[in-house]
Amino acid sequence: MEVIKSVRFKYYENFDELFRDFREMIEFCIVKALESGITSYARLRKAIYEEWKRRWYPKYHTHYCHSACKIATAILRNFRKRKRRGLTKKEKPEVKRGFIRLEEMLFKFEGDKIRITTSPRSYITLRLIVGEYQKRFIDAWKRGELDIGEIIVKQDYIIVPFKRRVQPKTSNTVMTIDVNEEHVTYSVFDSSGGVMKTARLDIYKAKRIHEDYSKKREKIQRKLSKKPLKMRRILQKYSGREKRRIEDYLHKVSSIIISEAKKYNSKIVMENLKHIRESINKKNKRLRRRLNRWNFRKLQFFIEYKVKWSGLPVEYVNPRKTSILCPICGRKLKKSLNGQRLLRCEKCGLEFDRDVVATYNLYKRSQNVGSLRSPRTLPDEVLLIKEGGTGELLKVAEYYCLHLKPP
């Protein structure tokens, strides 16, 4: 199984000429294809090759001809589809500015720079801006763990697809994960349904970051109410920063989950979030806005991609009622008087944390079993996840007193 992760890099250089020429090549290919009625890449290349060479060789390597033909045929395929559906009235498709796709032959990735071949023995070197995130991929590439696919160069960034051959692992435990606004709760089960561990990550910081930025936004709106253009620009800048901070934090949270999954060699089971969105939408509007902004999907996406990257299997199950049924007897749980996130089973006489319940029911649903061994009512450990990604271990009893005031 091959897993691809596309990573963006910003770069220092400016090379308008290559962008302009490449766009001309694609437009040339499109015109020729339309004139001659050719739709296949191979035939188009054959038909235009000599003329292309007269115009662009030796300034450009003949691989640019192949690349331009490939892109032109893809653009035309899309264009014809749109035309058939009546979505466009144009005679020929438009080619985007500032976009180059380069085959493996045309560049050499060197870690912090990329050397692009324009013609035989003539090169452009792009110096990449490497952040912490990008560096991890470069290091893995240097160790020989990753390959690189066709790169896409845009006017302000470059996309490098890192490829990894992943050997699917056979897991011997199951890890179920429940994600909500403030916590990620997971449980690990052995092969016979015994609970090995139940833990909670308190991701309080995500909410704090959102709150910080909504205060900032309000302030800007007040201050700049008479300068709407400036206000819009500044608000955009802030929302970009907010997004990056949240994503960075969620990346760190997902890494903690994955290192646990690797430790136990688990199959991952998560809720199918399509269902979650539906149930959220029924609740009030303010909550919905907050939750949507929270972007569970993003955290789940980070987890999923990291799980696949490591070769462990992932499964999604319908979470319907998973947080309100007793994981032991299956009866509907009632609200507890001892705290908002606690639920009580009248038959078993136990009080469970709501998210712990969800992880157990996810397990029962995914494995299609009726019972578990040694379930907990509260997590074994609670970790407060700081913005830097380190966890502070909290005393479970204190945590529940601290966070769960009686209603």
CB of 375 to Zn ion, least distance (A): 10
Q: Does 140 bind Zn ion (CB under 5 A)?
A: no
Task: List the one residue from 326, 342, 343, 358 that touches Zn ion (CB under 5 A).
Answer: 326
Q: Does 348 bind Zn ion (CB under 5 A)?
A: yes
Q: Does 148 bind Zn ion (CB under 5 A)?
A: no
Compute CA 6 distance to the chain's CA centroid, rounded to the nearest angstrom.
10
Task: Give the strand pairing for 381-385 and 195-202.
Answer: parallel
Burial of residue 243 (number of CB atoms within 10 Å: 0-12, 13-18, 19+): middle
CB of 366 to Zn ion, least distance (A): 20
Contacts 24+ apart (CB under 8 A), 325-334: 325/357, 325/361, 326/350, 326/352, 326/357, 327/352, 327/357, 327/360, 327/361, 327/364, 327/372, 327/375, 328/371, 328/372, 328/375, 330/370, 333/357
Nearest to 257 by CA among 360, 311, 186: 186
Give whichever of 291 and 328 is closer to Zn ion, judged by the CB atom. 328
Quick one: which segment of 55-63, 161-169, 239-247, 337-345 binds Zn ion (CB under 5 A)? Answer: 337-345
Quick one: which segment of 60-68, 331-339, 371-379, 394-402 binds Zn ion (CB under 5 A)? Answer: 331-339
The answer to whether residues 379 and 356 touch, using CB atoms and an 8 Å cutoff, is yes
Task: List the one residue from 59, 244, 321, 347 that touches Zn ion (CB under 5 A).
Answer: 347
Give whichever of 115 and 347 is closer to Zn ion, judged by the CB atom. 347
CB of 343 to Zn ion, least distance (A): 10
Question: By rule CB under 5 A, what count of residues binds Zn ion?
Answer: 7
Quick one: which segment of 25-33, 63-71, 85-93, 318-326 binds Zn ion (CB under 5 A)? Answer: 318-326
Task: List the one residue from 328, 384, 396, 404 that touches Zn ion (CB under 5 A).
Answer: 328
CB of 326 to Zn ion, least distance (A): 3
CB of 342 to Zn ion, least distance (A): 14
Give whichever of 142 and 347 is closer to Zn ion, judged by the CB atom. 347
User: What CA–CA distance (Å, rounded) separates 292 from 283?
Assistant: 12
Q: Does 329 bind Zn ion (CB under 5 A)?
A: yes
Quick one: which segment of 109-117, 121-129, 232-240, 324-332 binds Zn ion (CB under 5 A)? Answer: 324-332
CB of 187 to Zn ion, least distance (A): 17
Q: Does 346 bind Zn ion (CB under 5 A)?
A: no
Q: Does 18 bind Zn ion (CB under 5 A)?
A: no
Quick one: which segment of 52-60, 112-120, 137-145, 330-338 binds Zn ion (CB under 5 A)? Answer: 330-338
Q: Which residues contact 193 (CB under 8 A, 6 or more apart)?
A: 363, 367, 369, 371, 372, 373
Give whichever of 227 and 331 is closer to Zn ion, judged by the CB atom. 331
Quick one: which segment of 69-77, 92-100, 101-109, 346-354 binds Zn ion (CB under 5 A)? Answer: 346-354
CB of 377 to Zn ion, least distance (A): 11
Q: Does 345 bind Zn ion (CB under 5 A)?
A: yes
Residue identified by tokens 């009030």 is: 284
Q: List interacting residues with Zn ion (CB under 5 A).
A: 326, 328-329, 331, 345, 347-348
